[in-house]
């Protein structure tokens, strides 16, 4: 019977625990034939039991109202220290009565053991209650960031989710319960409560891990985009703070530098954090599995970059063998996000190539496709670090070699796997614009359309991160191309203006030159082509008329100044709303 009672106790007992101590009175009878030394030891152990009984029964909530209303581990901790000392003395008494050194008859030893075991069970119930109370009371009192960042501070500091006093109390309770064979109960309470709290911490950060991930393909992108923002915000705090703090807390409560305790620390952390972390990482993995599209690319890149930045922290926090599944999950998620990003960028290329609108932009202005594509690519240039990671080890092989004018400048900052891809996408956009220029029936207007759109592309490259990816020379080459298009427009559109200026001016009314610098260059070129010849004609007529000119009779209607004013009227600055609008297949650049 005694062996059954002490099965918990002796699973963690060692000979050095068997010692005297304590106080109180004993009513047990002793065998007179025993030696005085053994009789004295038995009396001391009986006193330990009696002393323990006076302390332990006071805090038995099943027996006294005082224990129901008062916390054992309250301010001052005097009662807690006496209680833990009584439990330790009780344990020594139980070990003594079970040892061969005990001189008492078997019946008396069993009675003492039963009495001590009953007290021990009561004590463990009280400690279990206190362990639960301390964990619950401190669940959200402080934040995990403090615990993680203050791990090197002294025990007197306020650190994280628990003050140093609370952690010390938890550790004392855990050590006592484990020493007396009740470690499983202690660990069970810890795991259940802390796992629940960790999940709540993520919810307080704005992300609910209980959301089902299987139906993401049915959720509208704006809704899914909001959830991604929530995940990103929660991830940037949870891994360096909450998960890291949880591991630290496990160590502070259960680790006493014993190999078994180290295993226990690992086990507790794994049971508390593994499932939560795996579920948390399932979200970006599920996003990666949705249908690729250009509008998702920037969020996917942000997910990939954030997880890449956090991976060293994940690797450090989940370094135990039993938590390696979290590291594996993070790596698999990174790979899935990288593939999703590559597929989404490929969809952008497909969308440009398939853009089939035949709308003619009035005045040959900038096409919505140009604006949308350049907004997309300029935003993409802000994600170069993520792109470098996504395309690491994935060399670019274009369907055909890049022409020299479209090739990026060699760079030590951006690898060719990224710069060549961006250059290729810009070439696809420019080729599509060449095709759209063919829709204009007037050749001069088609050249103006190309001049406006190529200049717009060059300007966007210059003013965005695309300049770093492609190099300044890329923009210069395409500005030269735009200038050649504008020159052809001037020759074709204004070539006969010297002989029939008003007809030419009327025909070019409403033509748009979007870029301010190009507009000035075009006006200068038109004036240079028309004004000198017209001025000679004007002077000939005025000389023939003796310096006067009859407006109705003379075919020369403008003075040189009037001619310049008329040209100025043709090339007015376009309104900001001109050539805006939308076409099918527009590209999103989510903020």
Give yes or no for a contact between 266 and 322, defined as CB atoms under 8 angstroms apart: yes
Q: How wide is the angle at C-alpha 467 spanned by C-alphas 583 and 572, nearest 5°?
A: 55
The token duo for 410 is 């060699």
3-state DSSP call for residue 183?
helix
In SS3 terms, 268-296 reads as HHHHHHHHHHHHHHHHHHHHHCCCCCHHH
User: pLDDT tens track of the chain, all 591 residues?
Assistant: 444 445 555 555 443 333 333 333 334 334 433 444 445 667 777 777 888 787 887 777 666 656 566 777 876 567 888 888 888 888 887 887 777 777 777 777 777 788 888 888 888 988 998 899 888 887 765 344 444 444 444 443 444 444 678 888 899 999 999 988 898 999 999 999 999 888 888 888 888 877 777 777 778 888 899 999 999 999 999 999 899 989 988 988 887 645 555 688 899 999 999 999 999 999 999 999 999 999 999 999 999 999 999 999 999 999 999 999 999 999 999 999 999 999 999 999 999 999 999 989 988 999 999 999 999 999 999 999 999 999 998 989 888 889 999 999 887 789 999 999 999 999 999 999 999 999 999 999 999 999 999 999 999 999 999 999 999 899 999 999 999 999 998 888 887 765 677 777 788 887 888 898 998 898 888 888 877 777 766 666 666 665 454 543 445 667 778 778 888 888 777 765 444 444 444 566 655
3-state DSSP call for residue 587?
coil
Determine the Cα–Cα distance for residues 231 and 209; give it in Å rounded to an integer.
9
- Residue carrying the six token digits 């956009």: 429
**What integer pLDDT is reported at residue 411 of this predicted model?**
78
**What integer pLDDT is reported at residue 159 of this predicted model?**
45
Number of H helices, E strands in the chain: 22, 2
Query: In angstroms, what CA-CA distances link 316 with 245, 248, 319, 320?
Result: 12, 12, 5, 9
| CA torsion through residues 317, 319, 321, 325, sign | positive
Give yes or no for a contact between 8 and 181, defined as CB atoms under 8 angstroms apart: yes
Give yes or no for a contact between 113 and 201, defined as CB atoms under 8 angstroms apart: no
The token duo for 505 is 């001016």
**What integer pLDDT is reported at residue 237 of this predicted model?**
93
Determine the Cα–Cα distance for residues 423 and 402; give it in Å rounded to an integer.
8
**What integer pLDDT is reported at residue 66 of this predicted model?**
63
Determine the Cα–Cα distance for residues 235 and 77; give it in Å rounded to an integer.
38
**How many whole angstroms from its chain centre is CA 163?**
29
Closest CA to 462 of 529, 391, 515: 515
pTM, full prediction: 0.80
Give yes or no for a contact between 408 and 424, defined as CB atoms under 8 angstroms apart: no
List Cβ neighbours of 14 (8 Å cut-off, separation of 6 or more): none
């Amino acid at each position: 019977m005694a062996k059954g009672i002490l099965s918990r106790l002796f699973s963690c007992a060692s000979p050095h625990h068997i010692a005297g101590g304590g106080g109180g009175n004993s009513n047990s009878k002793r065998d007179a034939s025993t030696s005085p030394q053994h009789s004295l030891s038995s009396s001391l152990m009986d006193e330990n039991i009696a002393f323990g009984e006076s302390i332990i029964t006071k805090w038995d909530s099943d027996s006294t109202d005082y224990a129901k209303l008062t916390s054992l581990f309250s301010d001052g901790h005097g009662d807690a220290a006496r209680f833990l000392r009584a439990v330790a003395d009780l344990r020594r008494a139980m070990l003594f009565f079970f040892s061969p050194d005990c001189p008492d008859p078997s019946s008396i030893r069993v009675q003492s053991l039963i009495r001590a075991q009953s007290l021990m069970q009561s004590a463990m119930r009280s400690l279990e209650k206190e362990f639960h109370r301390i964990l619950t009371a401190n669940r959200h009192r402080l934040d995990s960031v403090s615990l993680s960042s203050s791990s090197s501070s002294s025990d007197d500091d306020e650190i994280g989710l628990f003050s140093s006093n609370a952690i010390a109390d938890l550790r004392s309770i855990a050590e006592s319960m484990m020493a007396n064979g009740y470690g499983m109960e202690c660990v069970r309470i810890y795991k259940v409560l802390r796992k629940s709290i960790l999940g709540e911490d993520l919810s307080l950060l704005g992300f609910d891990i209980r959301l089902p991930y299987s139906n993401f393909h049915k959720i509208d992108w704006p809704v899914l985009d909001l959830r991604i923002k929530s995940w990103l915000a929660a991830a940037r705090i949870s891994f360096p703070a909450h998960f890291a703090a949880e591991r630290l807390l496990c160590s502070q409560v259960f680790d006493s530098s014993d190999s078994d305790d180290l295993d226990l620390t690992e086990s507790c952390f794994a049971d508390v954090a593994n499932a939560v972390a795996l579920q948390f990482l399932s979200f970006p993995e599920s996003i990666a599995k949705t249908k690729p599209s250009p509008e998702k690319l920037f969020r996917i890149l942000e997910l990939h970059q954030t997880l890449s930045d956090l991976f060293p922290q994940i690797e450090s926090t989940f370094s135990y063998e039993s938590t390696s599944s979290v590291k594996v999950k993070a790596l698999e998620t990174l790979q899935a996000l990288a593939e999703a990003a590559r597929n989404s960028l490929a969809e952008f290329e497909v969308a440009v190539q398939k853009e089939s609108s035949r709308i003619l932009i009035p005045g040959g202005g900038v096409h919505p496709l140009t604006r949308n594509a350049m907004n997309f690519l300029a935003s993409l240039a802000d994600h170069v670090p993520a792109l470098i990671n996504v395309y690491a080890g994935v060399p670019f092989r274009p369907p055909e070699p890049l022409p020299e004018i479209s090739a990026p400048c060699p760079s030590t900052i951006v690898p060719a796997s990224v710069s060549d891809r961006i250059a290729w996408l810009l070439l696809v956009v420019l080729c599509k614009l060449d095709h759209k220029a063919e829709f204009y029936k007037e050749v001069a207007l088609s050249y103006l359309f190309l001049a406006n759109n190529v200049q717009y592309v060059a300007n966007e490259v210059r003013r965005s991160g695309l300049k770093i990816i492609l190099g300044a020379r890329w923009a210069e080459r395409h500005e030269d191309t735009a200038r050649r298009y504008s020159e052809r427009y001037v020759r074709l559109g204004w070539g006969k203006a010297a002989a029939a200026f008003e007809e030419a001016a009327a025909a070019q009314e409403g033509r748009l030159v979007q870029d301010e610098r190009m507009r000035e260059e075009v006006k200068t070129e038109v004036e240079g082509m028309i004004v000198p010849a017209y001025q000679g004609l004007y002077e000939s007529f005025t000389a023939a008329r003796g310096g006067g000119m009859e407006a109705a009779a003379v075919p020369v209607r403008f003075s040189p100044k009037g001619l310049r004013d008329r040209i100025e009227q043709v090339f007015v600055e376009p309104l900001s709303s001109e050539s805006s609008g939308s076409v099918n297949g527009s590209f999103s650049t989510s903020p």
